[in-house]
């Protein structure tokens, strides 16, 4: 029995895997509001050119610089674990493996991309990164990365989270990050909102606007912006999760998994575990690859595949993705990292191709799964991660019914020690199921119809 | 270079090491208030007989039951890591290794003894354990252990911590623990205090009284009490830390370390890393073995070696230990786990014998060390653990001055993600150095002089 499958430092993957090289149909390009493809120079004020090159790359394997590996070695390779205690509890013939991304210093998979992004910016001569954060997972990961690489880091944190979740802010401060409540008085976007709504709780949309403005208006030209999910280069960096997992499964004599599961908000964690196995599926392997989203934010299962903006202020390019409309505001479920209206275009293209088959699960089932996890495996998972566990429990039960010894792999994207208020709500009976009402879906279609480029696509092939 | 030294599951130690077998002078026995040795039957209402046997045992090696290992495998063997990033920063020739006990589900070394204690109680037919907790580290570890073993768990948590630190309480609840604020209305001790002082913030002394009363007065006879440090059986269970570390050092070709460091509150974490190497020192090896205490609670460096009570209410037997007097109330430093007036008798006997050489370090130096750790190794340590890191940094600097390639080993007893308020106090400049004033030491001597058995011992040999 192998409960913990370890990979030695010298066996860490030395290249990231880029699914863009292997998609049956090429990825649809990002567009400007007037429908023209976005060119690299348009992105240059926001991202450094070496990151923009990765964003557009269709090269299959991209070398990971040694200096980046030297930083990642603090927690990578991460353990692959066998969830034997959950298996026993479920009396399932399935073998459940999970890639433990909670072991990073910030406690999630996010630093897998924060570190390379900080490093490439530093290489390009950038001195400072800006970003936004909601619950604080991404902000703390970027502050951590900037500390280790030697960049300044400025985080615009949604005001209500800033006030209610002081611990994430403190993590950023320990790592030298400068975290302010958004809207702030430091940007035009922030000042404008504050003048109109002095008591606003803030929103991710406002925080994005402030972070981008702060980057592009710095007169020194030495500040750029950093995003923690959705974009191609982010998913590229996260592929290390699945590449390590593949090597670890092989080391204990497992062939390919039958099922791969991950929770998906913007798609970076799910893609991290999924894409290296999606390549095998493209090459003929039979694997169910399942991104799990909350029923409160069901863009993959009930949204449209359309060109839409990444943010409510329509500052980003239009991207071809599954979306509930950029104006959609998800219910305040505790899995803050899954509250996003869109999905990474690379994941969406895989869904269109039939390579990924999304499912949505309600938060009550997810917290039940998290409690089962805590009393069997013993660890307290993040609310986002509980969605993956709920999906895995469904699969393990199905394997039991079918009497099949399936191999199930999932990404344990983070621990829940900074998110215990959600458990409190669940344990005290305050949590309720939440299924997005049909009228909200209709509203999202109207939102999309209002934008000439934001039209539904029936397939990825046009 | 080996940054992370892993031990396979099959190489986990199968026996605990009991230093009581090897002490040059036998341990002084616990005494009743009238000076007679405590007999096992006196302890029977409080602890199960199989634990009492371990408490009194002088057997060198004690088998770890397979069923206990099966629980520990969730996080053990824990990694031994090389702090290469700190070494580079300090430009020291020393090699710094640390045993990472923060990887357990509750985030500290505490479950190493919580699990066996719960298991032995279960074996003995006990249905429920009671305990007290201050900041909540021990309470959450025992709730975790009881959940996995299948016992009820009742935790009396000091009221001020209960109100100010809701997250530790939530951890206990996720693991099925029943945590109440102490003083509570559920015990005579609690009701008496509440009647006199309805607004009391509570204290560890009151919480201990409540937990013991709840155990010994349960009419079913199926409830016992559990303690997270100080006692011999607790230190025995923690020896797995040092035993694993020894095997890991050997696996990378290191002989014995030159220096072993651990923070010490009641002594269980320090003894866990130290005792297996103390055996080597008894057998002639040259090793500096250093428990680190805060200058705010300097029992080992400035207290007396005397027979004293373990608690303020004088409910425990008298133990021969270094103490500041059982009535001593330490300043409210953030390292809550180090705020204890006494020290484990096994550690004290080693100090008397010259095997352990304690140091005290002020909290400002400790938080500076914690910040250095966060910006080099990347992880956020517990306030208790920062004392060990500060001690290690002193040693590494000394090795640099001496130009010696020393091997330094320490126990990284826990992460600091649940204790970020201490970092907030440090970063906002609110924290001050604290050295215990001499008049407090004099008071502690008066306290001891008031008890016939609580007399200073000039050596361990009488």
> What pLDDT shows up at residue A184?
96
Q: What is the largest CA-CA distance in chain A?
A: 65
- The reply to whether B196 and B277 lie within a common domain is no
Bridge-based pairing of strands A95-100 and A80-82 is antiparallel
Q: Within a domain: residue A326?
A: yes
Question: Residue-wise pLDDT tens for chain A (462 aa)?
Answer: 779 999 999 999 999 999 999 999 999 999 998 889 999 999 999 999 999 999 999 999 999 999 999 999 999 999 999 999 999 999 999 999 999 999 999 999 999 999 999 999 999 999 999 999 988 999 999 999 999 999 999 999 999 889 888 899 999 999 999 999 999 999 999 999 999 999 988 888 889 999 999 999 999 999 999 999 999 999 999 999 999 999 999 999 999 999 999 999 999 999 999 999 999 999 999 999 999 999 999 999 999 999 999 988 888 899 999 999 988 888 888 888 999 999 999 999 999 999 999 999 999 999 999 999 999 999 999 999 999 999 999 999 999 999 999 999 999 999 999 999 999 999 999 999 999 999 988 887 777 766 555 554 444 333
> What pLDDT shows up at residue B444?
78
Instruction: Give the closest-approach CA distance of B193 to chain A in angstroms.
Output: 29
- The reply to whether B262 and B134 lie within a common domain is no
How many structural domains does chain A have? Answer: 2
Please say which residue of A225, A253, A280 terminates a domain: A225
Pair of tokens at residue B228: 């997270």
Q: Within a domain: residue B43?
A: yes
Asked whether the beta carbons of A345 and A320 are under 8 A apart, the reply is yes
CB nearest A175 (choices: B3, B167, B374): B374
- The reply to whether B258 and B244 lie within a common domain is yes
> What pLDDT shows up at residue B458?
44
Best A2, A9, A74, A87 member to test B by mutation, with max B CBs in 10 Å, is: A74
The CATH number of the domain holding residue B246 is 3.40.50.1100
Cβ–Cβ gap B105/A418 under 8 Å: no
Nearest to A59 by CA among A16, A118, A25, A30: A16
- The reply to whether A413 and A373 lie within a common domain is yes
Give dist(CA B347, CA B292) in Å, integer: 12
Task: Please identify which residue in the block is written with the tokens 């559990």.
Answer: B226
Question: Residue-wise pLDDT tens for chain B (462 aa)?
Answer: 779 999 999 999 999 999 999 999 999 999 998 889 999 999 999 999 999 999 999 999 999 999 999 999 999 999 999 999 999 999 999 999 999 999 999 999 999 999 999 999 999 999 999 999 988 999 999 999 999 999 999 999 999 889 888 899 999 999 999 999 999 999 999 999 999 999 988 888 889 999 999 999 999 999 999 999 999 999 999 999 999 999 999 999 999 999 999 999 999 999 999 999 999 999 999 999 999 999 999 999 999 999 999 888 888 899 999 999 988 888 888 888 999 999 999 999 999 999 999 999 999 999 999 999 999 999 999 999 999 999 999 999 999 999 999 999 999 999 999 999 999 999 999 999 999 999 988 887 777 766 555 554 444 333
Cβ–Cβ gap A380/B4 under 8 Å: no
Indicate left, alpha or beta for B206 from its phi (over 0: left) and psi (-120 to 50: alpha).
Answer: alpha
Domain carrying residue B85:
4-8+68-107+238-448
- The reply to whether A57 and A88 lie within a common domain is no
Give dist(CA A387, CA A382) in Å, integer: 9
- The reply to whether A305 and A179 lie within a common domain is no
Q: Within a domain: residue B360?
A: yes
Please say which residue of B196, B225, B254 terminates a domain: B225
- The reply to whether A271 and A357 lie within a common domain is yes
Give dist(CA B21, CA A458) in Å, integer: 76
Quick one: B195 exposed, middle or buried, by C-beta within 10 A (0-12, 13-18, 19+)? Answer: exposed
- The reply to whether B145 and B29 lie within a common domain is yes
In this prediction the ipTM stands at 0.95
pTM of the model: 0.96
Cα separations (Å) of B78 from A62, A210, B73, B81, B211?
Answer: 33, 43, 9, 10, 31
Task: Please identify which residue in the block is written with the tokens 């209610």.
Answer: A164
> What pLDDT shows up at residue B449?
67
Cβ–Cβ gap B173/A107 under 8 Å: no
> What pLDDT shows up at residue A462?
32
- The reply to whether B127 and B98 lie within a common domain is no
- The reply to whether A119 and A252 lie within a common domain is no
- The reply to whether B40 and B137 lie within a common domain is yes
Residues of A with CB under 8 A from a CB of B: 1-4, 6, 8-9, 73-75, 85, 103, 105, 107, 144, 147-148, 166-167, 170-171, 173-176, 371, 374-375, 377-380, 417-418, 420-421, 423-424, 427
Q: Within a domain: residue B346?
A: yes
Asked whether the beta carbons of A3 and A240 are under 8 A apart, the reply is no
């Amino acid at each position: 029995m192998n409960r913990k499958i370890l990979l030695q430092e010298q066996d860490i993957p030395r290249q990231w895997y880029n699914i863009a090289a292997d998609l049956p149909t090429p990825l649809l390009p990002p567009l400007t509001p007037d429908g023209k493809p976005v060119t690299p120079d348009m992105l240059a004020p926001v991202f450094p050119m070496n990151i923009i090159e990765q964003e557009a790359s269709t090269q299959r394997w991209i070398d990971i610089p040694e200096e980046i590996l030297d930083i990642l070695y603090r927690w990578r390779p991460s353990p692959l674990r066998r969830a034997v205690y959950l298996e026993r509890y479920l009396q399932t013939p399935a073998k459940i493996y999970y890639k433990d991304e909670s072991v990073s210093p910030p406690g999630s998979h996010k630093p897998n991309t924060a570190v390379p992004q900080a490093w490439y910016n530093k290489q390009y001569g950038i001195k400072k990164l800006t970003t936004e954060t909601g619950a604080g997972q991404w902000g703390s990961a970027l502050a951590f990365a900037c500390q280790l690489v030697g960049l300044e880091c400025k985080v615009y944190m949604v005001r209500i989270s800033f006030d209610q979740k002081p611990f994430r802010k403190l993590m950023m401060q320990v790592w030298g990050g400068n975290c302010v409540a958004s809207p702030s008085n430091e940007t035009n976007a922030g000042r404008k909102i504050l003048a109109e709504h002095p008591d606003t709780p803030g929103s991710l949309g406002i925080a994005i606007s402030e972070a981008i403005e702060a980057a592009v208006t710095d007169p020194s030209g030495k500040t750029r912006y950093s995003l923690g999910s959705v974009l191609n280069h982010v998913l590229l960096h996260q592929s290390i999760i699945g590449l390590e997992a593949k090597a670890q499964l092989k080391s204990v004599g497992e062939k390919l998994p039958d099922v791969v599961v991950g929770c998906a908000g913007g798609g970076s964690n799910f893609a991290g575990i999924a894409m290296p196995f999606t390549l095998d599926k493209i090459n003929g392997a039979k694997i169910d690859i399942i991104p799990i989203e909350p029923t409160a934010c069901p863009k993959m299962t009930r949204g449209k595949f359309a060109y839409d903006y990444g943010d409510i202020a329509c500052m980003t390019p239009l991207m071809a993705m599954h979306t509930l409309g950029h104006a959609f505001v998800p219910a305040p479920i505790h899995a803050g990292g899954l509250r996003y209206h869109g999905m990474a275009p690379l994941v969406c293209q895989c869904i269109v191709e039939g390579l990924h088959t999304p499912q949505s699960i309600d938060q009550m089932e997810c917290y039940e799964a998290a409690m089962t996890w805590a009393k069997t495996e013993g660890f307290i998972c993040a609310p986002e991660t509980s969605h993956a566990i709920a999906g895995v429990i469904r699969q393990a039960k199905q394997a039991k019914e079918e009497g099949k010894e399936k191999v199930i792999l999932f990404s344990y994207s983070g621990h829940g020690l900074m998110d215990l208020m959600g458990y409190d709500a669940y344990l005290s009976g305050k949590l309720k199921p939440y299924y997005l009402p049909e009228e909200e879906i209709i509203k999202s279609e109207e939102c999309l119809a209002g934008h000439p480029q934001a039209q539904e696509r029936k397939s990825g092939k046009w």
